[in-house]
């Protein structure tokens, strides 16, 4: 702790390590629930549409509203945590998520449900706040292990959420009762957060750059709103170009304002160095391969081979089981990130993980005629994805000023999300069914997988180009 990075809050010396490491288990619980909430909404989206009598396009708002809220909440809460304490903002974020989850469960009408989803936006702020907290309170090695466990818990929570909410929807037969499950979990997290979690000691100096928060949030909103609809309307459509170009223009204005602000939301000059900038660009590429491949892989599994000449005609449950080994490998990879990095370094772990993902994509494009082949290739990719998920937040956090860890990791999350939105629009265009056909051409899937391989290679090269400062 130094005066340059902020003041301690009433404590002159660092606390014993053992009590702080014990609290990591509570943070792991929060990430399990976070993953459960984020992934658990997908299986019950059709039931939400039926219950409230809304169209498929309206149901899509259930996901997009939460993502748009997250785009604003993540950097704002990250910066507020750096300034006023990460535990404080963690509790506020959990309270917002709990209130939103309860509102979703008791919603009498669809607009109320959307308001609840809006309140769930701070879900994505939990991880940056937790990373900042453990980095502040723990030695480097223990902090790295804690971050790996948090990422592993988020991945495991996503697996449990996807399976658990699907089962809850069938068992209860009522979408409101199913939504009560994550609501109870979220409320329990608020109570747990009041028990034993210590506050961070480092404080950033200054204030919140609210114009920077607003401009960055609006820029990301425009980009997400535009590129996410490209698969349905085409890249030349006004519904895509207008919000996307507006988002890019706002991003340019934001950068101009940040460079001239005494206390900016994001220190762009510090991010421009070779020890930081390549990792942010790699985050965008990582978002493309992490989010972009999920939907195409699922639709490929579901396609009837007798009609399309490819695919396996699997049911939703069979698809979940086929993807289970990849999910387990991803959890294992994220949990073992610290051990892998102890041998290779974090930059080496990132390079290896991205090359592993790229190899899996190439193998997928070359051999996808047998189910066992595809499951094996997805498992290979899952291992690389999990390791990258564990390593990326660590390198971003350690490359940033200790007093700006919260906002730095929040911006990483936004960059990754925008990469996923771009991938969704691009891959949706490639997988559009030709006229007179119900299914995309097989070549469209091959193109998706080869593009995924190219972005994985790009991410690896960016990690090579970075000047890594271990520890």
Distance CA 265, CA 251 (A): 13
Note the pLDDT of residue 62: 82
Give me the domain span that covers residue 340. 273-465
Domain assignment present for 471: no
Within this chain, do residues 346 and 458 fall inside the same structural domain, yes or no?
Answer: yes
Within this chain, do residues 312 and 224 fall inside the same structural domain, yes or no?
Answer: no
> 128-154 b/e with 16+ CB inside 10 Å = b?
bbbbbbbbbbbeeebbbbbbbbbbbbb
Domain assignment present for 6: no
Within this chain, do residues 315 and 407 fall inside the same structural domain, yes or no?
Answer: yes
pTM of the model: 0.77
Within this chain, do residues 334 and 397 fall inside the same structural domain, yes or no?
Answer: yes
| Spatial CB neighbours of 280, under 8 Å, sequence gap ≥ 6 | 271, 396, 411, 412, 415
Cα–Cα separations (whole angstroms), residue 48 to 53, 58, 59, 107: 8, 10, 7, 11
Within this chain, do residues 75 and 124 fall inside the same structural domain, yes or no?
Answer: yes
**Residue ending a domain, choose from 198, 227, 250:** 198
* Residue 284's CATH number: 1.20.1250.20
Q: Running along the chain, 471 residues long, what does each successive block of 10 average in pLDDT? A: 38 46 81 89 80 75 79 85 90 95 93 92 90 85 85 86 82 88 94 85 79 85 77 76 89 89 78 78 89 78 85 79 86 87 88 94 91 92 91 84 79 82 78 73 89 94 75 44
Within this chain, do residues 89 and 149 fall inside the same structural domain, yes or no?
Answer: yes
In this structure, the dihedral spanned by the alpha carbons of residues 305, 306, 308 and 312, taken in order and rounded to 10 degrees, is: -10
Within this chain, do residues 321 and 368 fall inside the same structural domain, yes or no?
Answer: yes
Note the pLDDT of residue 21: 58
Note the pLDDT of residue 113: 92
Note the pLDDT of residue 275: 75
Distance CA 307, CA 429 (A): 21
Within this chain, do residues 309 and 183 fall inside the same structural domain, yes or no?
Answer: no
pLDDT in tens, 399-425: 777 777 788 888 888 888 788 878 877
Within this chain, do residues 260 and 293 fall inside the same structural domain, yes or no?
Answer: no
Within this chain, do residues 250 and 287 fall inside the same structural domain, yes or no?
Answer: no
Within this chain, do residues 26 and 173 fall inside the same structural domain, yes or no?
Answer: yes
Note the pLDDT of residue 16: 47
Q: What total number of domains does the chain contain? A: 3
Note the pLDDT of residue 30: 93
Domain assignment present for 153: yes
Helices marked H in 53-109: 56-84, 86-106
Cα–Cα separations (whole angstroms), residue 147 to 70, 151, 438: 21, 6, 44
Domain assignment present for 69: yes
Domain assignment present for 3: no
Within this chain, do residues 438 and 402 fall inside the same structural domain, yes or no?
Answer: yes
Domain assignment present for 133: yes
pLDDT in tens, 223-236: 877 777 776 677 77
């Amino acid at each position: 702790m130094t005066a340059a990075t902020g003041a301690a809050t009433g404590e002159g010396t660092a606390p014993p390590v053992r009590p702080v490491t014990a609290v990591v288990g509570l943070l792991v619980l929060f990430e399990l629930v976070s993953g459960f909430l984020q992934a658990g909404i997908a299986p019950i989206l059709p039931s939400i549409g039926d219950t409230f009598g809304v169209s498929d396009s309206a149901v899509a708002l259930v996901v997009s509203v939460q993502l748009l809220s997250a785009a604003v909440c993540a950097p704002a809460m990250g910066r507020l945590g750096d300034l006023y304490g990460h535990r404080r903002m963690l509790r506020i974020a959990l309270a917002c998520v709990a209130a939103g989850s309860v509102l979703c469960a008791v919603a009498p009408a669809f607009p109320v449900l959307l308001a609840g989803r809006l309140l769930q936006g701070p879900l994505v702020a939990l991880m940056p706040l937790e990373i900042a907290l453990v980095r502040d309170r723990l030695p480097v090695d223990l902090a790295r292990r804690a971050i790996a466990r948090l990422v592993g818990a988020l991945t495991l929570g996503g697996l449990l959420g996807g399976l658990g909410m699907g089962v809850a929807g069938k068992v209860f037969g009522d979408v409101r009762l199913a939504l009560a499950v994550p609501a109870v979990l979220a409320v329990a997290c608020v109570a747990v957060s009041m028990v034993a979690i210590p506050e961070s000691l480092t404080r950033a100096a200054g204030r919140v750059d609210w114009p920077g928060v607003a401009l960055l949030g609006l820029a990301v909103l425009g980009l997400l709103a535009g590129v996410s609809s490209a698969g349905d309307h085409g890249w030349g459509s006004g519904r895509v170009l207008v919000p996307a170009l507006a988002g890019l223009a706002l991003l340019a204005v934001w950068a101009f304002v940040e460079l001239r602000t005494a206390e900016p939301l994001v220190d762009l000059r510090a991010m421009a160095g070779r020890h930081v900038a390549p990792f942010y660009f790699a985050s965008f590429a990582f978002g493309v391969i992490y989010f972009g491949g999920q939907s195409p892989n699922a639709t490929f599994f579901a396609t009837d081979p007798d009609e399309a000449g490819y695919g396996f005609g699997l049911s939703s449950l069979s698809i979940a089981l086929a993807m289970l080994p990849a999910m387990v490998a991803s959890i294992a990879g994220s949990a073992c990130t610290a051990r892998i990095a102890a041998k290779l370094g974090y930059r080496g772990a990132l390079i290896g993980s991205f090359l592993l993902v790229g190899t899996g994509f190439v193998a997928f494009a070359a051999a996808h005629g047998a189910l066992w082949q595809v499951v094996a290739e997805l498992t290979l990719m899952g291992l690389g994805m999990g390791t990258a998920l564990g390593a990326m937040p660590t390198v971003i956090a350690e490359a940033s000023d200790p007093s700006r860890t919260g906002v730095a990791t929040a911006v990483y999350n936004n960059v990754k999300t925008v990469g996923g939105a771009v991938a969704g629009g691009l891959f949706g265009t490639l997988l559009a069914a030709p006229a007179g056909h119900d299914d995309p051409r097989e070549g469209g899937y091959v193109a998706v997988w080869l593009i995924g391989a190219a972005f994985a290679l790009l991410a690896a090269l960016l990690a090579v180009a970075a000047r890594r400062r271990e520890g």
